[in-house]
Structure 1
Amino acid sequence: MDLPRHLLDVRRIYLEPAVEGFARGREILARFPEAERIPVASHWKIPELREGAEEDWLDAKRGALVLGVKKSLTCRPNGRSADFIAPSTSNGCAMACAYCYVARRKGHSNPISLFVNIEEIAGFIARHAARQGRKAEPNQVDPEAWVYDLGENGDLSVDAALCDNLRDLVATFRALPNAKGSFATKFVNPDLLGYDPRGRTRIRVSLMPEAPARLLDVRTSPIEDRIRFAGELHRAGYELHLNFSPVVIHEGWEAAWRELFAQVDAALPDTAKQQLACEVIMLTHNAELHETNLRWHPRAEDLLWTPRWQEEKISQNGATNLRYRAGPKGKLLARFRAILAERMPYCRVRYAF
Structure 2
Amino acid sequence: MAAFPLDIARIYLEPAVEEHARGREILARFSQAERIPVASHWRIPELRGGDPGDYLAAKRKALVLGVKKGLTFRPNGRSADFIAPSSSNGCAMACAYCYVARRKGHANPISVFVNIEPILAATARHATRQGPKTVPNQVDPQSWVYDLGENGDLSVDAAISDNVRDLVSLFRSLPNAKGSFATKWVNPDLVGYDPQGRTRIRMSLMPPGLAKLLDVRTSPVAERIAAIPDLHRAGYEVHLNFSPVVLHEGWEAEWGALFEMLDDLLPAAVKDQLAAEIIMLTHNRDLHEINLAWHPKAEDLLWRPDIQEQKVSESGGVNLRYRTGWKGRWLQRFKDLLAARMPYCRVRYAF
TM-score normalised to structure 2 length = 0.98
How many Å separate the matches in 2 of 1:318 and 1:272?
41
Q: AA paired with 1:142?
A: D
Deviation at 1:43, TM superposition (A): 0.4
Deviation at 1:313, TM superposition (A): 2.1
Deviation at 1:317, TM superposition (A): 5.3
Deviation at 1:32, TM superposition (A): 1.3
- 2:147 — aligned with what? 149
Q: State the secondary structure of the residue aligned to 2:11.
A: strand
Kept in 2, the 8 Å contact 1:104–1:289? The answer is no
Which runs of 4 or more aligned residues in structure 1 lie more than 6 Å from their structure 2 counterparts after TM superposition?
none
How many Å separate the matches in 1 of 2:314 and 2:265?
36
Kept in 2, the 8 Å contact 1:16–1:40? The answer is yes
- 1:193 — aligned with what? 191
- 1:223 — aligned with what? 221
How many Å separate the matches in 2 of 1:258 and 1:160?
33
- 1:235 — aligned with what? 233
- 1:127 — aligned with what? 125
- 2:279 — aligned with what? 281
Once the two structures are superposed, residues 62-99 of structure 1 have per-residue CA deviations (whole angstroms, 9 ceiling, x without a partner) of 11100000010011000000000000000011100000
Q: State the secondary structure of the residue aligned to 1:102.
A: coil
Percent identical? 73
In structure 2, relative to structure 1, the CA distance for the partners of 1:104 and 1:37 (3 Å cut) is closer
Deviation at 1:57, TM superposition (A): 2.0
Deviation at 1:109, TM superposition (A): 1.7
Residue 86, structure 1, aligned to residue 84, structure 2: yes
How many Å separate the matches in 1 of 2:130 and 2:316?
28
Kept in 2, the 8 Å contact 1:103–1:109? The answer is no
Deviation at 1:320, TM superposition (A): 2.8
Deviation at 1:51, TM superposition (A): 2.2
Deviation at 1:330, TM superposition (A): 0.4
Aligned length: 351
- 1:76 — aligned with what? 74
Show the 5 A alignment for 1:99-138.
99-138=97-136
- 2:270 — aligned with what? 272
Among 30, 36, 41, the residue aligned to 1:38: 36
Q: State the secondary structure of the residue aligned to 1:261.
A: helix
How many Å separate the matches in 1 of 2:26 and 2:336?
47
Structure 2 unaligned runs (5+)? none
Deviation at 1:314, TM superposition (A): 3.7
Q: AA paired with 2:212?
A: R
Deviation at 1:104, TM superposition (A): 4.0
Give the root-mean-square deviation of aligned CA atoms. Answer: 1.3
Kept in 2, the 8 Å contact 1:104–1:288? The answer is no
Q: AA paired with 1:136?
A: T
Deviation at 1:47, TM superposition (A): 1.1
How many Å separate the matches in 1 of 2:180 and 2:195?
11
TM-score normalised to structure 1 length = 0.97
How many Å separate the matches in 2 of 1:265 and 1:26?
45
Once the two structures are superposed, residues 236-267 of structure 1 have per-residue CA deviations (whole angstroms, 9 ceiling, x without a partner) of 11001000000000111000000000111111
Residue 16, structure 1, aligned to residue 14, structure 2: yes
Deviation at 1:318, TM superposition (A): 5.3
How many Å separate the matches in 2 of 1:218 and 1:201?
26
Structure 1 unaligned runs (5+)? none
In structure 2, relative to structure 1, the CA distance for the partners of 1:316 and 1:334 (3 Å cut) is farther
In structure 2, relative to structure 1, the CA distance for the partners of 1:178 and 1:29 (3 Å cut) is same
Kept in 1, the 8 Å contact 2:84–2:147? The answer is yes
How many Å separate the matches in 1 of 2:181 and 2:313?
21
Once the two structures are superposed, residues 170-190 of structure 1 have per-residue CA deviations (whole angstroms, 9 ceiling, x without a partner) of 000000000000000000000
Show the 5 A alignment for 1:295-310.
295-310=293-308
How many Å separate the matches in 2 of 1:318 and 1:75?
23
- 2:242 — aligned with what? 244
In structure 2, relative to structure 1, the CA distance for the partners of 1:138 and 1:262 (3 Å cut) is same
Q: State the secondary structure of the residue aligned to 1:326.
A: coil
Q: State the secondary structure of the residue aligned to 2:95.
A: coil
- 1:208 — aligned with what? 206
Once the two structures are superposed, residues 188-216 of structure 1 have per-residue CA deviations (whole angstroms, 9 ceiling, x without a partner) of 00000000000000000000001110000
In structure 2, relative to structure 1, the CA distance for the partners of 1:175 and 1:182 (3 Å cut) is same
